Amino acid sequence: MSEETQILVLGAYGLAGRAIVRRLLEKTTYSVIAGGRNEAKLRLLKGERVTTCLLDVDDTSAVTSACEKASFVINAVGPFAKNGFNVAKTVLETGKPYLDCANEQRHYQNLIKLDELAQKRNLPLVTGAGVFPGLSTLLVAHMLERYPDTIEVDCCCVQFRHAYMDSGLASVMGAILEAVEQPVSVKQGMLVPTRLGKSVRIFDLPPPFGQRLLLEVPLIDAFTLRKLFPVREYHTWFYVGDLPVWLLKLFRILQPQHRPRVYRLVESIVRRINNRETAKAISAGVSPECMIYVRVVIGDQIEERFVTFYDGAIATACLPVYIADGYIRGNITKTGLLTPLDIITTDRLKEIVDGAITSMKLG
């Protein structure tokens, strides 16, 4: 592959973006264009194979200009339900392949409108390629292939803190916007609304997490998994730490996704909570490890599998780097709206997460 091959990473200094840039440099020989709107933070990413591009993803002309030099575009600017559609549309219109690590159901539904454009341009439009969904979806699929008579699936994502300070706001806001949008889960083979604040459950998780109370926030795979597997019950759960559920209920009343001023207010509140909790965890020596845990019920039998990562950022970076490399090498050729389930077989899981995990139980 030519040394001139460049991958554009939008949101390159954020929680996921920074890890994606680092993993691209570690796992590929490609050059990276690091895009973002904070010049000081971008400057910290400069290196032998990294150039920077000052831009705001809301500026269509700036994104178009940045895409011209790229062979592949990875969008790490969340929350995706807020600006993901416009960024994806701009990237496709420049004739470049697009990928994001979104989890929001609304974003997936928005991208359906771009499927025709992507196919017409013979381009992949990949979404849900993060850790949850993404790697978690592949782990669920791995188990459903192994246990085709599964009647119930619980998929959990847990971490004690973000990988570093001043990060993770976009991912938290994405989860909040998803929660207040009345997301749906799969129950008895049907898509049903999730009752925010009512769908909570205690799980006994492998070390180092132990017993934790998790909140159900269904993701994109409520739509995608059911196309391939006839599971009667499918639920996705998040560990939200000390974030009070009543606050999520308040946000649902306020509807920040439809009111810009309210969105900025909610973002300000969440930023303070996020930074305070991250600082407290770091000072207390809390580990940043992240775990995907899947539990399936087959009649009277229960099976569980898990993957534990060094941190949530590197976990999120695994699929974007693997898919971008696969597309550039010609190993991935499908076009249109895609998720990892459409382009990756589950036997690739170990290869995808190489160097990013501390432990794994695949069975």
Alpha-carbon separation of residue 4 from 22, 50, 250 (angstroms): 18, 12, 50
% of the chain exceeding 70 in pLDDT: 90
Residue 167 per-residue DSSP state: -
What pLDDT is stored for residue 1 in this prediction?
37
**Which of 155-159, 177-181, 298-302, 346-350 has the least mean pLDDT?**
177-181
Alpha-carbon separation of residue 331 from 2, 18, 107 (angstroms): 16, 25, 27
Residue 257 has pLDDT above 60, yes or no: yes
Mean pLDDT over residues 62-86, rounded? 94
Helix, strand, coil distribution of the chain in percent, nearest 5: 40, 25, 35
Q: 111: closest CA among 75, 84, 76? A: 84
Residue 196 has pLDDT above 60, yes or no: no
List, in sequence order, the alpha helices (H) in 255-311: 260-283
Q: 186 falls in which pLDDT band (50, 70, 90)? A: confident
What pLDDT is stored for residue 176 in this prediction?
67
Residue 79 has pLDDT above 80, yes or no: yes
Over residues 309-347, the pLDDT tens digits come to 999 999 999 999 999 999 999 999 999 999 999 999 999
What pLDDT is stored for residue 253 in this prediction?
75
Matching residue, tokens 């991912």: 171
Cα(352)–Cα(354) distance, integer angstroms: 6
Let me know how long the chain is: 363
Q: 161: closest CA among 268, 287, 276? A: 287
What pLDDT is stored for residue 175 in this prediction?
67
What pLDDT is stored for residue 301 in this prediction?
95
Over residues 1-33, the pLDDT tens digits come to 344 799 999 999 998 999 999 999 999 999 999
What pLDDT is stored for residue 63 in this prediction?
97
What pLDDT is stored for residue 242 in this prediction?
62
Cα(229)–Cα(352) distance, integer angstroms: 23
Mean pLDDT over residues 155-172, rounded? 75
Q: 247: closest CA among 274, 220, 211, 222? A: 274
Q: 239 falls in which pLDDT band (50, 70, 90)? A: confident
Over residues 39-62, the pLDDT tens digits come to 999 999 988 899 999 999 999 999
Task: Report the mean per-residue pLDDT for the chain.
Answer: 88
What pLDDT is stored for residue 188 in this prediction?
74
Residue 73 has pLDDT above 50, yes or no: yes
Token representation of residue 342: 């459409």
Number of helices (H), then strands (E), belonging to the chain: the values are 14, 16
% of the chain exceeding 90 in pLDDT: 64
- Three-state SS for 169? helix
Answer with the residue of higher pLDDT: 168 or 137.
137
Residue 256 has pLDDT above 80, yes or no: no
